[in-house]
Amino acid sequence: MPLTPRFSLDQNSSHVILTVRIPYIRPSDAELRVEPVSSSSLASEKTDVSFYCKPYLLRLRLPAALCDEDGNKAVYNPDEERGTLTVHLKKINESFIPDLDLISKLMIPPAHEDELFLKKEQSQPNIIELNSKRAETEEKSKVISSFEDNENEVDWRNILASNNKNGDKKYSYGFMDQHSNIFSKWNEQGENTSSYTYLQREMGVELPNPDVVPRFERRSMRLISEEEAFDAERYIGDYFGATDDILFTMAMDSNCFIPHWEKYINRVDDLIDGLNGLSTSDVDTKCHFTKFTEEDNLRLSRLPRCNFTLNHTDNWRHLLSLVDIIAAYVYDCRLTCNDPNPESAWTIAILSPTLSWFESYESDKDSPYDALVFSLRRMMIYPYLRYWPFALKILDDVKKIFTRGKRCVLRCLLQIHDTFEHTDTHYLLNKLYISDYCSWIQSVSDSSFADFTTELKKSCSMITKDCVNLDLTEFEKYAMKFK
């Protein structure tokens, strides 16, 4: 399989600028194609851009009409990062092209490979031919497992590749409930049944027997488990002593740590307030102040190339799951000052009901309030610091992240993905949830995201200490008698 090079997209009034990092190549071997998409099924003008230079292959579908010859130019600089190709693609209509920073959204999925490569003339040997079905299978079944060096361990590639995604949705889990029987198959291939329990414990998955517990029973089981796990003495200990903890002090001190969703806010607040009068969407305006780093772009380019088109109901329930996932991430990000440690993956997984209990929200029954309450509840039970003011700080951070727009949310998801990918077991949560969430969030409309954020803000104002149903106030009053 060819390699996808590091690349980025930018634009000015007249050109789209494609920058590709391709070290140690001969420019004479490179081939660039710019071809308009002439399909009656496409609602708007699009252009396919393909670049090939062994061993690199890049395929993009840009949402704009570009010149295929005249006005385009390419310059290769061998000294910039050991080889950088900069291509200026001339726009036919000099208008702003949205979402060029969401590069994984623009990468052509395997299903479209036939359009670009299987129909090429034999007189053009520099374009390789790919088998799209094989590419799609390999893309979906690719799993980086630390177990695969041991022949006695489970082959996750076989498990995921043979996973029955058309099975009974009653017992399914993962993004869009598209997975089932994953843990059962791991148990069958393991040496003993204790490995099954080990896997769940290491992943932070508390749901017992995920493959046989119906979706509608998971919430009630989780609430009972949380009540049993709540440690009132530990909570009171943090109630009196959290402010003396150095980690708490650093997490709350803006001089020690400024998270990425708060950087530069003070400088641009006045500008944002002014621009709001020119925009119909508060979220749409602010999202453009979230810039992806080069590491973010690299992670985006490595995501599975999937296109999700969900209805409003499905989008809403996945946004609800996203709330508890982001809240768990923010807790760890604050506590570690965005320097993940060996416990970070477990912390994120255990604090998120979606990741630890495969919680499935219902758009007609649940609201952002429910997702926030479930997250706050777990913050009082499981992590290192169980302190209500700190949990409220996390709540405020979640609100800020969603207010900044879906790009800010995507940055958080990419960091979660990176944290999980460097562990022995949590990487499976990327396969079940996070990778697809990274791809899906890019396709959510700005209006839908803005509507959800409005409801989220309303829900934040309704949160009280009693909403988590752990009798926190009563324990505090009782403890004060003995202080």
Q: Could you read off the pLDDT of 81-105 as tens digits, one per residue?
A: 888 999 999 988 888 888 898 888 8
For 184, 204, 401, 407, the CA distances from 263, given in Å and listed in that order, are 44, 31, 12, 14
Backbone angles phi, psi at 384, to 5 degrees: -65, -45
What is the residue-averaged pLDDT of the chain?
81
For 162, 182, 208, 243, the CA distances from 179, given in Å and listed in that order, are 10, 7, 16, 43
- How high is the pLDDT of residue 169? 72
Higher local confidence (pLDDT), 33 or 71: 33
d(CA 473, CA 467): 11
> Tokens 């949205």 — which residue?
98
Higher local confidence (pLDDT), 475 or 183: 475
Q: Could you read off the pLDDT of 361-391 as tens digits, one per residue?
A: 998 899 999 999 999 999 999 999 999 999 9
Domains parsed from the chain with CATH numbers:
6-133 (2.60.40.790), 215-480 (no CATH)
Contact, 359 vs 206, CB < 8 A? no
Query: Alpha helix (H) ranges present in 353-445?
Result: 353-357, 368-379, 388-404, 406-421, 427-429, 435-441
Higher local confidence (pLDDT), 148 or 177: 177
Indicate the pTM of the whole model. Answer: 0.81
- How high is the pLDDT of residue 155? 52
Q: Could you read off the pLDDT of 453-462 as tens digits, one per residue?
A: 999 999 999 9
Q: Is the pLDDT of residue 289 over 70?
A: no
In three-state secondary structure terms, 18 is strand
- How high is the pLDDT of residue 306? 77
Task: Bin 12: left if φ > 0, else alpha if -120 < ψ < 50, else beta.
Answer: beta
Q: Could you read off the pLDDT of 61-76 as tens digits, one per residue?
A: 998 888 877 778 888 8
